[in-house]
């Protein structure tokens, strides 16, 4: 049974060192989280699994790592300066600020119905209600007051201002000159670094259509109300592909990527049955999108929320970063660009004429992925003896620690040394982190490793040295046996130390 509430996950993450509040010792910074000793391993493993599947296992992909701070012209021509905003609304009574759609969505059903009615919409079509509120700010303010929309902080009906757009990009000054022009943006999506490097990658790799560029990296969004743990943060990490195709083949490729991405989630232990595919309504599409599928994972407590967006970005971005677009027959309606120095085109594979390709973009959040993976793996079980245990049934390739090697007694140097040498041998296999767990109490060690999802525990006990004839001067690492405990079945098997690496390598493959 996966986790049933967000609280269970938050508590496990803190208790076992997956995730901590950012800047915690100064009271915390809202919307920022730090990944602890186990969190960083899990995160790295998720990213490695994504990279493997999308770069190494394909023949039509290149990788990239572009810089985080970008020229302001990039974000201007991408459309983010003008449109990357969320509707913000204030309560005059206590000066609290909310994201309009979140505020309304979290009200009781009868209040939402009243707001919808006042805006001439059906409550069933929530995106249309939000669109109507945005389109008529004065009417929206009145509708919220009349419907009795409550402030989530005070619980009282608010005195609501007119909603207005709030741009979510973080702006920063660059260099020691503080004139009005010396600023840039922290990228709000990794995608723009791929578009601006399109020509560099094509020229340096001789790629032809169709092909993709993959990137994993940080993105920053000054969310009005960060919330729900790592689900909505201000500093996030994305795993993005921009897949460039011949215009006209884009719809087919969009379906291809939908399928590929769903099967990747399945391989990480996030089943299709828990993901709803939302064909995003036209009025809700981002400014660059021709069509978008949002993958909506059923998060504990939150319900179905976006874990990944798969957008058909048409020729919008490459077109808008291109100088003198007029002769290129762009489909997306982009403004003439006189600032750029580039022509982001590629020869059409049949006609050889320069063409601005269409782009399919699967864009997944690492933080949201980690939350979904944890939630699916989280299991509470009642054992035969009536005891309860929490176990993270993570797929082995994602487990932060692959094997814990435990000497039965921490004060017995012989046991500890043998455990250390077993650990060192296993570490050489390159499977990921192997841990020497010499905290002393075997019961506690098993409980801890169940909770953090370690697939196997190897215990070195007195039999190991006894059997080996260490007292007769024999080498325990050649002749002794150890106990291997399986996290999921709890089965314990005696395995010869000389056969242990092959045994675990096969199990963890
Ligand atoms: P939402 O509607 O939830 O704000 P979005 O539609 O703005 O998300 P995209 O712009 O499509 O999100 O970003 C791609 C992916 O990046 C999302 O599917 C999500 O996994 C991740 N992501 C976006 N914003 C955040 C955030 N504030 N915190 C954590 N992850 C995020």
Model confidence over 20-72: pLDDT tens digits? Answer: 999 999 999 999 999 999 999 999 999 999 999 999 999 999 999 999 999 99
Angle among Cα 503, 506, 509 to the nearest 5 degrees reads 145
Is 221 close to ligand 1, i.e. is its CB under 6 Å away? yes
Indicate the SS3 state at residue 2.
coil
Residue 188 CA, closest ligand 1 atom number: 10
Angle among Cα 377, 381, 384 to the nearest 5 degrees reads 145
Pocket test for ligand 1, best of 223, 270, 299, 309 (most atoms within 8 A of CB): 309
pLDDT reported for residue 209: 97
Contact 297, 275 (CB under 8 A): yes
Percent of the chain that is helix, strand, coil (3-state, to 5): 40, 25, 35
Residue 86 CA, closest ligand 1 atom number: 4
Residue of minimum CA distance from atom 16 in ligand 1: 365
Contact 232, 214 (CB under 8 A): no
Is 362 close to ligand 1, i.e. is its CB under 6 Å away? no
Q: Which helix (H) or strand (E) holds 189?
A: none
> In this predicted model, which residue has the larger pLDDT, 436 or 333?
436
DSSP state of 151: P
DSSP state of 225: S
Would the pLDDT of 468 be above 60?
Answer: no
Residue of minimum CA distance from atom 23 in ligand 1: 365
Condensed to tens digits (0 to 9), the pLDDT of residues 83-102 reads: 899 999 999 999 999 999 99
Would the pLDDT of 275 be above 80?
Answer: yes
In the reported structure, the alpha carbon of residue 132 is separated from the centroid of ligand 1 by a whole-number distance in angstroms of: 23
Is 306 close to ligand 1, i.e. is its CB under 6 Å away? yes
Residue of minimum CA distance from atom 4 in ligand 1: 232
In the reported structure, the alpha carbon of residue 399 is separated from the centroid of ligand 1 by a whole-number distance in angstroms of: 25
Condensed to tens digits (0 to 9), the pLDDT of residues 345-377 reads: 999 999 999 999 999 999 999 999 999 999 999
CA atoms within 13 A on the CB side of 200: 10
Number of residues in the chain: 509
Residue 366 CA, closest ligand 1 atom number: 20
In angstroms, the CA 362 to CA 294 distance is 10
In angstroms, the CA 72 to CA 80 distance is 10
Is 238 close to ligand 1, i.e. is its CB under 6 Å away? yes
Residue of minimum CA distance from atom 12 in ligand 1: 309
- Tokens 């391989």: give the residue: 267
In angstroms, the CA 75 to CA 85 distance is 13
Residue 369 CA, closest ligand 1 atom number: 20
Contact 406, 458 (CB under 8 A): yes
- For residue 474, what pLDDT band results from cuts at 50, 70 and 90? low
Would the pLDDT of 1 be above 70?
Answer: no
Condensed to tens digits (0 to 9), the pLDDT of residues 319-329 reads: 999 887 777 88
Instruction: Rounding to the nearest 10 degrees, give the CA dihedral for residues 102, 106, 111, 112.
Output: 50
In the reported structure, the alpha carbon of residue 52 is separated from the centroid of ligand 1 by a whole-number distance in angstroms of: 22
Is 274 close to ligand 1, i.e. is its CB under 6 Å away? no
Pocket test for ligand 1, best of 22, 229, 296, 368 (most atoms within 8 A of CB): 368
pLDDT reported for residue 476: 58
In angstroms, the CA 283 to CA 13 distance is 37
pLDDT reported for residue 467: 57
In the reported structure, the alpha carbon of residue 305 is separated from the centroid of ligand 1 by a whole-number distance in angstroms of: 10
Average pLDDT over residues 143-149: 95
Residue of minimum CA distance from atom 6 in ligand 1: 309
DSSP state of 275: E
Residue of minimum CA distance from atom 11 in ligand 1: 309
Residue of minimum CA distance from atom 3 in ligand 1: 306
Is 232 close to ligand 1, i.e. is its CB under 6 Å away? yes
Whole-model pTM: value is 0.93
Is 295 close to ligand 1, i.e. is its CB under 6 Å away? no
In angstroms, the CA 297 to CA 273 distance is 9
In the reported structure, the alpha carbon of residue 270 is separated from the centroid of ligand 1 by a whole-number distance in angstroms of: 18
- For residue 473, what pLDDT band results from cuts at 50, 70 and 90? low
Contact 225, 98 (CB under 8 A): yes
Residue 10's contacts (CB-CB under 8 Å, 6 or more residues apart) are: 229
């Amino acid at each position: 049974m996966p986790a049933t509430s967000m609280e269970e996950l938050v508590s496990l993450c803190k208790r076992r060192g997956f995730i901590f509040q950012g800047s915690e010792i100064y009271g915390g910074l809202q919307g920022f989280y730090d990944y602890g000793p186990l969190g960083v391993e899990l995160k790295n493993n998720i990213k490695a699994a994504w990279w493997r599947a999308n770069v190494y296992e394909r023949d039509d992909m290149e990788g990239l790592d572009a810089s985080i701070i970008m020229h302001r012209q990039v974000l201007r021509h991408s459309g983010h300066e003008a449109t990357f905003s969320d509707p913000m609304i204030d309560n005059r009574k206590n000066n609290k600020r909310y994201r309009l759609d979140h505020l309304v969505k979290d009200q009781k059903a009868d209040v939402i119905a009243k707001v919808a009615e006042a805006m001439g919409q059906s409550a069933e079509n929530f995106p249309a209600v939000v669109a109507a509120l945005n389109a008529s700010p004065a009417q929206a303010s009145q509708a919220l007051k009349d419907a009795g929309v409550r402030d989530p902080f005070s619980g009282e009906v608010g005195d609501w201002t007119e909603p207005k757009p709030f741009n979510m990009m973080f702006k920063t000054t660059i260099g020691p000159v503080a004139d009005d022009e010396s600023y840039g943006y922290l990228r709000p999506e990794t995608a723009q670094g791929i578009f601006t490097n399109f020509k560099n990658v094509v020229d340096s790799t001789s790629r032809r259509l169709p092909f993709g560029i993959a990137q994993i990296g940080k993105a920053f969004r000054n969310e009005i109300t960060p919330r729900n743990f790592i689900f909505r943060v201000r500093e996030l990490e994305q795993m993005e592909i921009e897949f460039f195709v011949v215009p006209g083949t884009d719809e087919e490729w969009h379906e291809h990527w939908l399928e590929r991405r769903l099967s990747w989630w399945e391989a990480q232990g996030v089943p299709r049955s828990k993901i709803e595919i939302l064909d995003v309504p036209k009025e809700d599409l981002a400014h660059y999108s021709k069509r978008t599928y949002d993958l909506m994972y059923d998060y504990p407590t939150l319900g179905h929320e976006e874990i990944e967006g798969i957008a058909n970005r048409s020729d919008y971005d490459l077109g808008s970063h291109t100088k003198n677009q007029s002769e290129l027959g762009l489909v997306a309606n982009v403004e003439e660009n006189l600032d750029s120095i580039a022509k982001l085109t590629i020869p059409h594979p049949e006609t050889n004429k320069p063409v601005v390709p269409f782009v399919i973009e699967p864009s997944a959040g690492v933080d949201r992925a980690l939350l979904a993976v944890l939630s699916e793996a989280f299991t509470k079980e009642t054992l035969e003896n009536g005891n309860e245990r929490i176990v993270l049934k993570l797929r082995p390739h994602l487990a932060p620690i692959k094997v814990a090697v435990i000497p039965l007694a921490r004060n017995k140097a012989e046991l500890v040394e043998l455990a250390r040498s077993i650990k060192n041998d296993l570490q050489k296999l390159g499977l990921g982190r192997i841990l020497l767990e010499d905290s002393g109490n075997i019961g506690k060690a098993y409980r801890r490793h169940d909770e953090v999802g370690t697939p196997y525990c190897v215990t070195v006990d007195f039999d190991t040295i006894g059997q080996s004839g260490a007292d007769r001067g024999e080498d325990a690492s050649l002749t002794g046996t150890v106990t291997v405990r399986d996290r999921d079945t709890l089965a314990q098997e005696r395995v010869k130390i000389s056969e242990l690496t092959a045994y675990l390598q096969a199990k963890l493959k």
